Amino acid sequence: MSVSQNLHIVGRLVVETVRFTGEGCTLSQATASLLTEQMIDTPVTDIVGWDSETLEDLVGMELTPSRLKCAELALVAFRAALEEHEISDDTSVV
């Protein structure tokens, strides 16, 4: 499985646009699509706080540990991108 995201974060670190491309199981792709829709106009600090309950609410079902790994792939990629670019509360990325 793999996910690649393009983020456009401005101002007070709110996600303005996000796109993803990826390969993987149906759950990973569906969740990535739903997550990217939810990320738009959402503060980065809120997204970083999303957890398994957020994902389960989003997909509308309880996730077993192995399915949770698939579902959280896009969220893990988002967090990794923040770390890679050292984004903090006083940083803007375009």
Give the residue among 91, 80, 73 at the shortest CA–CA distance from 26: 73
Higher-pLDDT residue of 16, 88: 16
Residue boundaries of the structural domains of the chain? 2-84
Please give the Cα distance from 66 to 68 (Å, whole number): 5
Residue-wise pLDDT for 17-70, tens only, equals 888 888 889 999 999 999 999 998 899 889 999 999 999 999 999 999 999 999
Residue 87: the pLDDT is 57
Higher-pLDDT residue of 53, 89: 53
Class of domain 2-84: alpha beta
pLDDT band at 5; cut points 50, 70, 90 = low
**Quick check: 42 and 18 in contact, CB under 8 A?**
no
pTM exceeds 0.85, yes or no? no
